[in-house]
Structure 1
Amino acid sequence: MDILNEWLRAGVSSGLLEIKQILLFIFIAGPLVIIIRKIREIIAFINEVRNSKLNELQHLLNSHKLPKEESICIKDEITRIIGYRMTGIADVARQQVIIRLLVKHRFLISADFFKKFRSFLVVEDSFLVFKKGISYWVENGMYGLFSLQFLFFSITSIVLSINKEGVIPVWGHFILYFVAVMMFLFFIAFARMIPRPGECKLLDKILQTQYNNSSE
């Protein structure tokens, strides 16, 4: 905050910024800070709702003396929920295979490595198989299309702000740059959902270890 104050003072003293521009900046930045705080509160609430079932199951285990069979079922359900969050897959059979591979290759891949491939991983004869068919190219093609659209919107906002410098008011430029940043973040988010060739090769290498181990 002190750095921002010094920057504003320097801008005013050098003539780069006018008082009305600073007031307009404060007028826009104030509500923006409030919006960001509200978004954080909403995210916290969503996480609380998301964890409600997990917390309830854990509470049942800790607060009640349950029969052994019921305790096993509750623990299995907790494991399934955690496995889903790690892998993005609700199917227990695939979860178990993926988690075994995660443990074995934990120094090579991150815990969410398989999430990108969750729609294309199936279990055949107790082995996890990567089905790279038409659906793979269609789904990732859609992600690529969306990411390029967001990149286009981001660049367009910046170009519009530059080319219409004398036409668009100051607050309009703030909005355009804000939109550009948001669109660029969406571009990154969708681009990250697309498996890279190196990740596909690494997945094939990891899956191949299943067969190597079974033949030993």
Structure 2
Amino acid sequence: GLEKAYKREPVLRGVSFCVEPGNVLGVCGNNGAGKTTLVSVLASVLPADAGRISLMGVPVEAGVPYRRMIGYVPQGIALAPRLTVRQNLLFWASVQGLHGSEAREAAAEAARLSGSSAFLEKQVARLSGGMARRANLAAGILGRPQLLLLDEPTAGIDEQTRDVILEAVRVQRNRGTIVVMVNHYANEMAAVCDRIITLRDGVVGEGMASRVT
């Protein structure tokens, strides 16, 4: 299982799970349980101290090939504030190895699915909170990732934006994407998750993995 510690204090302790393509795994738990650390390790933002991560046979140690298979939507807005939404999406498309018309088409599709098309030419710094969340999601789903990692994607947003984001998650699932979503809203988890695990002090709580029916 995955192990991660900060200053010798264990944060993840033997976390282990498998998710099939076309499934949404919900991760819940109290503050400090290790949820954000888990997603950061899966996104290769943080290295694990021990354990193995593999996506379709590609290990996280592969670096760029692994990272190009994933989409990561962190809690914070991971977009350049002085650039427009379109400019940000084209930048992230280039990171994914997409250029020219391919990049433009990927950006347009991501904007459509995230409900961001109406403000593509707007500077990120001038977006409302809900708009910024949608644009953040657009960057994560760009290029049809095989693994989509979402860290509290609906925290502090309006109901309409929440519905758009949850519908985008359903679309990704229907495309065969593996989705791992950290969320603390039980009704949202039940609406989109195929399975839910609960982290407690860095451990998957015994008996806390459940299938949503």
Tell me which interval the TM-score lies in, with the shorter structure as reference length.
under 0.3
Structure number having the greater helix percentage: 1
The structure with higher relative contact order (CA 8 Å, sep 6+) is 2
Structure number having the greater strand percentage: 2
Q: Specify the structure having the higher radius of gyration (Cα).
A: 1
TM-score by length of 1: 0.22
TM-score by length of 2: 0.22
